[in-house]
Amino acid sequence: MHKDSIPATQPAAHPGGAASPAALKMDAHWMPFTANRQFKAAPRLLAKAAGMHYWTPEGRQVLDGAAGLWCVNAGHARPRIVKAIAEQAQEMDYAPPFNMGHPKSFELAERLVELTPAALNKVFFTNSGSEAVETALKMAIGYHRARGEGSRTRLIGRERGYHGVNFGGISVGGIVGNRKTFGPLVPGVDHLRHTHDLARNAYSRGVPEHGADLADDLERMVALHDASTIAAVIVEPVAGSTGVLLPPKGYLQRLRAICDKYGILLIFDEVITGFGRLGSPFAATHFGVTPDLMCVAKGITNGCVPMGAVFATQAIHDAFMTGPEHLIEFPHGYTYSAHPLACAAALGTLDTYAEEELLTRAAKMAPVFENALHSLKGVPNVIDIRNIGLVGGIELQPIAGDPGKRAFNVFLECWERGVFIRTTGDTIALSPPLIVEESHIDQIVSTIADVLKKHA
Ligand code: PXG
Ligand code: PLP
């Protein structure tokens, strides 16, 4: 069913008449989240993709263990999505999103809210996860103000959280490397402690036992700042970018209860967990905890065209709908909100997910994935293994004085051996496309094992 269409031996063309890799000039492009000088000295280029695989410009096949960057959930080059984008580009390239509309955005919104918890029945479109986060934070503050609680402006994030790279997102985010360079950030932000606890929870299968009480940090925030100053709490239900940190059993439920007690909005950042990664359409549906606002991106278009979105409750939406009807209720939006190509890609993506039942496939594959990952216990330098659905984290013992280096070396060597993985700090983060088969999982895990054993 998911057979890749390009044989490994077929030499890949250089799409669009691009220069051959040897002749490629790399000076002008300042690359994102990349060691630019190191990369340009020894580049790793991708030229084609289909199904579970990438191909380099030389035609070397590489298995995709990361769904690109946690986004290509249905696998690469899926025909329905490709066709939808091509047809939309022919039919209408662009439509202004302010005070104008096009049918596909409305169709898409209706389709999306069929998948979310019933309470989340409004959708606001953005172009990325970072923009979804900014949008949700502004909605939260604006909601309280509209209800006459304008003092609720404080935002609570969590240590080790990743919420994109814009100023709001890095302010509520908890990654020092992304924050320290950029000055005072957004004022009035505080952070819960993270939930990662190797001493008590190492080698958990699924959610760990210990740490639900860490949600009580929110009670301490209320005691310190007073609930009347707090607009919202934002968390990733499962933290992806900082190394696959799972919520302790009962933690999200407890956070929900404390938010309810004090009228604080709960925002789930589901940019990674959304669209089937955990085995249910969203983490909210997986854990049975409904946030007030939910950010998504990545899998919404299978990574094919940039798009993000924020889901909101009727109550949040309606709080804005009170002024004169000819006035803009929420002064926010992007030139490319609900871009026609993105909407077409998203509709093709939802069709593909539905036809192949991909939004629940991770639940079916989880036992196979879990057993394969945990077979790495005892392999040199492995200090923890974490998994849920089709997300896995393998934490390695850092090289003394050189944090991150061991995992990056494993990444490089896996790439040489034809397996693409993602690493963050000294954790290997696996998130294969949801079409993954057992043989692919075996290849990923055995390649990692071989590399770790070789360097023991
Ligand atoms: N929130 C979460 C939870 C994310 O994972 C974003 C927001 C930002 O989305 P955009 O589309 O603006 O990138 C993300 C993105 C990694 C990695 O190394 C993960 C992301 C981005 C870059 C790197 O795991 N996730
Ligand atoms: N900067 C300028 C000068 C603009 O005119 C605009 C949009 O009109 C933006 C930034 C924001 O761009 P976008 O809507 O793509 O986020």
Which residue from 335, 336, 337, 339 has its CB within 8 A of the most atoms of ligand 2, so it is best to mutate?
335
Distance from residue 23's CA to the centre of ligand 1 (Å):
32
Can you list the domains of the chain with their CATH numbers? 15-73+358-454 (3.90.1150.10), 82-355 (3.40.640.10)
**What's the rounded Cα separation, in Å, for the pair 164 and 132?**
9
pLDDT of residue 18: 53
**What's the rounded Cα separation, in Å, for the pair 158 and 160?**
6
Instruction: Compute CA 28 distance to the chain's CA centroid, rounded to the nearest angstrom.
Output: 28
Can you tell me whether residue 94 is helix, strand or coil? coil
To 10 degrees, what angle do helices 79-91 and 340-355 make? 150
pLDDT of residue 102: 98
Q: Rounded to a whole number, what is the largest CA-CA distance in the chain?
A: 69
pLDDT of residue 19: 56
Weakly modelled stretches of the chain, pLDDT under 50? 1-17
Q: Is 349 in the pocket of ligand 1 (CB under 6 A)?
A: no
| Ligand 1 atom nearest residue 270's Cα | 3
List pocket residues of ligand 2, CB cut-off 6 Å. Answer: 334-336
Distance from residue 134's CA to the centre of ligand 1 (Å):
13
pLDDT of residue 455: 86
Distance from residue 324's CA to the centre of ligand 1 (Å):
38
Tell which residue, 296, 307, 276, 361, has the closest CA to residue 85.
Answer: 307
pLDDT of residue 360: 98
Which parts of 332-455 are beta strand (E)?
382-388, 391-396, 419-420, 422-424, 427-430
Element (H, E) at 178: helix 176-179
Strands, sheet with 422-424, edge to edge from the N-terminal-most edge strand = 382-388, 391-396, 427-430, 422-424
Which residue from 128, 241, 334, 336 has its CB within 8 A of the most atoms of ligand 1, so it is best to mutate?
241
Distance from residue 448's CA to the centre of ligand 2 (Å):
44
